[in-house]
Structures are given as structure tokens and as C-alpha cells.
Chain A
Amino acid sequence: LAKTTQPISMDSYEGQEVNITCSHNNIATNDYITWYQQFPSQGPRFIIQGYKTKVTNEVASLFIPADRKSSTLSLPRVSLSDTAVYYCLVGIRDDKIIFGKGTRLHILP
């Protein structure tokens, strides 16, 4: 199964750049890496997806090294509203989808 490992929690301050790294050592050749954000009492929300190198959209950047065994979600200039749980997801194995435990990001004023 495509297992992922992320830090359990992180703290940062408003205005800082936050980087959350996810390890996925057994990523398969055709797997894409997807990140989701979840607020309390809501379903997860898609943030960004990538295959290799760097992907950027209006809310985040995703950095993927050449070996693709990890990925880093970068949130520029975070605000209090970025406090949430962030999940990385890699592929489907044996018709099952494994979300990791996620990273609980806490932004301080």
C-alpha cells in the first residue's frame, strides 16, 4: 500500500512560510501526489497535485524531488485561517486508498 508519513503537528506564526513534508518511499511510477486541507466539521478540500519537480497554484506550491520519495507542501505567508489538518495522498493500491494521519498545523498570531 502507498503509505505516507507526515509530522503529526506543526506550529507557525502569521506571515511566515510553512513547509510540510510527506515521505512516500514506495510511490509507484504512475502515482500522482495530492494534498488536501481539512477544517473542523468539514470534509477535506483539494489543495494541489503534482507528479514531479514543482507545481504552483494560487494557494500553495508543491515541491517533488527527482526520486519522488517525498514531497513538500509550501504555504506562503500563512494566516490564522490556514490552521487546519493537511493530508498527503499517493495513489491507489489494491483498490484501496490510504490517507495518512495528516499534519495538524496551528498558526499563531
Chain B
Amino acid sequence: GAGVSQSPSNKVTEKGKDVELRCDPISGHTALYWYRQSLGQGLEFLIYFQGNSAPDKSGLPSDRFSAERTGGSVSTLTIQRTQQEDSAVYLCASSLVVWGKEGNQPQHFGDGTRLSIL
């Protein structure tokens, strides 16, 4: 079956522009996660959704970042007025639920969107 799909795979934009990153989770997965990974670094958690609801948005780096999910499926991560420090790979993952009877559920990741801010 299809895995997690992210688009675009690469995005180059000028400082100050807005960008929108898209994530299509695995069909039937109600939980969706966004992470950021800078070159050679670990994963920085940004936000997760259970259904369309994000319990906590405080992981988003600044108020220029926003995320939404509608219809319990596709999610978009929007970065307004991009800065050079926003350059990174943005990873999306999904799981059946966030927390099941076997605890935290394994996440299935896409290959990310590589964002470069000039």
C-alpha cells in the first residue's frame, strides 16, 4: 500500500516568502506528526494531530509556523515570512492512533520536504 507522501520533495524560496508543505498520511491513520531535521541533526518535534485536533502547538518554533489538518487526512504546514534558519528537512509521519493498547504507536514516515531559504 501507499506510504506517507510529502510534497514538494524539494522547495527553494527567497527569504520573506511564505511556503506551504503538504503531507498525505497512510489511509486510515488518524494520527499525524510533523518534525524538522536540520543537516546532520536529530528530529525536532513540531506538532501532532489526533484526527483534526492538535492538543499542543507549543512545539512550533515561532508564530510564523502554523499547521492544520482537515477531514482527518491531509495536513499542511505553513511557514510565513521564511527566514534562513527555517532551512531544513520537514518530515511528516502517521500512525493508526497516537496511543493504543500497546502504548505509543509506531510512526510511519515520509521522506520529507527539503526546504532551502535563499
Segment of B14-22, B40-48, B64-72 in the binding face: B40-48
Partner of A44, one of B43, B48, B103: B43
B103 x A51 contact (CB < 8 A) = yes
The closest CB in chain A to the CB of B6 belongs to A43
Q: Compute how far the CA of A30 lies from the CA of B102 in the bound complex, rounded to whole angstroms.
A: 8
| Chain A residues numbered 15-48 whose CB sits less than 8 Å from any CB in chain B | 30-32, 34, 36, 41-46
Partner of A34, one of B4, B104, B109: B104
Q: A92 in the interface, Cβ–Cβ < 8 Å?
A: yes
Closest Cβ of chain B: how far from A70's Cβ, in Å? 17
Chain B interfacial positions (CB closer than 8 Å to A): 4, 33, 35, 41-43, 45, 48, 55-56, 58-59, 91, 93, 98-99, 102-104, 106-112
> Quick one: given A43-B91, A43-B112, A102-B42, are A96 and B103 in contact (CB under 8 Å)?
no
> Quick one: given A96-B56, A97-B33, are A87 and B42 in contact (CB under 8 Å)?
yes
Q: Compute how far the CA of A42 lies from the CA of B114 in the bound complex, rounded to whole angstroms.
A: 11
Provide a sorted-by-A list of 14 A–B residue pairs whose CB atoms are within 8 angstroms. A32-B104, A42-B111, A43-B91, A43-B93, A45-B109, A46-B108, A49-B102, A49-B106, A92-B104, A94-B56, A98-B45, A100-B42, A101-B41, A101-B42
Contacts of A32 in B (CB 8 A): 102-104
Q: Compute how far the CA of A102 lies from the CA of B43 in the bound complex, rounded to whole angstroms.
A: 9
| Chain A residues numbered 48-69 whose CB sits less than 8 Å from any CB in chain B | 49, 51
B56 x A43 contact (CB < 8 A) = no
> Quick one: given A44-B43, A87-B42, are A31 and B103 in contact (CB under 8 Å)?
yes
Q: Compute how far the CA of A87 lies from the CA of B58 in the bound complex, rounded to whole angstroms.
A: 23
> Quick one: given A30-B103, A31-B104, are A87 and B43 in contact (CB under 8 Å)?
yes
A95 x B104 contact (CB < 8 A) = no
